């Protein structure tokens, strides 16, 4: 009788152990199935452009008469560039360029606007290859003040044998429009006329200093010489 009870307990213990193992195995299998299912809905890691991508702003000229911004862009990198995003700052105090200039792009001078970026486009190709240049023009509203512009290249990267459009945020280029702003220095308030003999001199704080006038029969040249 005692032996039979021991055998029954052993069988019960084995059965419970087998049940636990089956339960754990089932949980693991269900976890793998759930992970595989959820992975199809999770976004994959966004590609970034290779380090050799570079779109250089050779010139950034803003015509104060017709307010046309003329950009000369050069691909000085190692890879083709498909297009670019273009943003601007209105002042040096603005930390991030947030003014979208793509809406002001003039397609008559090259390029074409697609959504919120500018795509390189010509009869031969729709990319800008290494060493090539492109001139694009933007018609800026007269009431929009521009301090600097930032260019973010775009291109296509292969992933899983498919081409994906990517933004090269690691290859951003910034260029100041015109001359850099000069901060006002209080010490410059006492600026002298220097080599000027006549006329006026304006320091970088906007203060006008009178440099005197010329004698009888003399006139003041544009260089401030009598």
- How does pLDDT run across 3-13, given as a tens digit for each residue? 555 555 555 55
Q: Are residues 94 and 146 in the same domain?
A: yes
Q: Are residues 30 and 94 in the same domain?
A: no
Q: Are residues 35 and 64 in the same domain?
A: no
pLDDT for 122: 62
The number of domains in the chain is 2
Assigned domain for 201 exists? no
Assigned domain for 157 exists? yes
Kindly tell me the burial class for residue 106, based on how many C-beta atoms sit within 10 Å of its own C-beta (0-12, 13-18, 19 or more).
Answer: middle
Q: Are residues 66 and 151 in the same domain?
A: yes
Assigned domain for 83 exists? yes
pLDDT for 15: 65
Assigned domain for 87 exists? yes
Q: Are residues 65 and 154 in the same domain?
A: yes
- Percent of the chain at pLDDT above 90? 27
pLDDT for 65: 87
Q: Are residues 156 and 73 in the same domain?
A: yes
The three-class DSSP label of residue 123 is coil
Q: Are residues 38 and 62 in the same domain?
A: no
Assigned domain for 121 exists? yes
Q: Are residues 59 and 10 in the same domain?
A: no
Q: Are residues 112 and 154 in the same domain?
A: yes
pLDDT for 3: 52
Q: Are residues 63 and 171 in the same domain?
A: yes
pLDDT, mean over the chain: 79
Assigned domain for 186 exists? no
Q: What is the pTM of this model?
A: 0.58
Reported in sequence order, the residue ranges of the chain that DSSP labels E, i.e. its strands, are 55-62, 68-75, 83-89, 99-100, 105-106, 112-114, 117-119, 133-139, 148-159, 162-167, 173-176, 200-202, 208-210
Q: Are residues 19 and 59 in the same domain?
A: no
| Enclosing domain of residue 11 | 1-42
Name which of 199, 82, 209 is nearest 134 in CA terms: 82
Sign of CA dihedral 192, 193, 198, 203: negative
Assigned domain for 200 exists? no
Q: Are residues 79 and 165 in the same domain?
A: yes
CATH code of the domain in which 154 resides: 2.60.40
């Amino acid at each position: 009788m005692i032996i039979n009870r021991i055998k029954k307990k052993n069988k019960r213990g084995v059965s419970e152990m087998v049940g636990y193992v089956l339960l754990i195995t089932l949980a693991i299998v269900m976890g793998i199935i759930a992970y595989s299912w959820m992975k199809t809905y999770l976004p994959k890691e966004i590609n970034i452009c290779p380090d050799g991508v570079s779109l250089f702003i050779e010139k950034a000229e803003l015509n104060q008469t017709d307010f046309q911004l003329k950009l000369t862009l050069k691909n000085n990198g190692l890879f083709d560039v498909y297009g670019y995003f273009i943003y601007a700052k209105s002042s040096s105090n603005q930390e991030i360029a947030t003014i979208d200039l793509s809406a002001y792009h003039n397609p008559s001078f090259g390029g074409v606007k697609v959504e919120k970026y500018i795509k390189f486009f010509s009869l031969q190709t729709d990319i800008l290859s290494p060493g090539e240049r492109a001139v694009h023009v933007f018609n800026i509203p007269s009431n929009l003040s521009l301090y600097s512009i930032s260019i973010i290249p775009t291109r296509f990267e292969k992933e899983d044998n498919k081409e994906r459009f990517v933004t090269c945020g690691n290859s951003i280029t910034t260029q100041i429009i015109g001359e850099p702003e000069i901060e006002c220095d209080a010490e410059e308030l006492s600026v002298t006329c220097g080599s000027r003999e006549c006329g006026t001199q304006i320091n970088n704080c906007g203060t006008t200093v009178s440099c005197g006038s010329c004698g009888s029969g003399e006139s003041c040249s544009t260089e401030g010489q009598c």
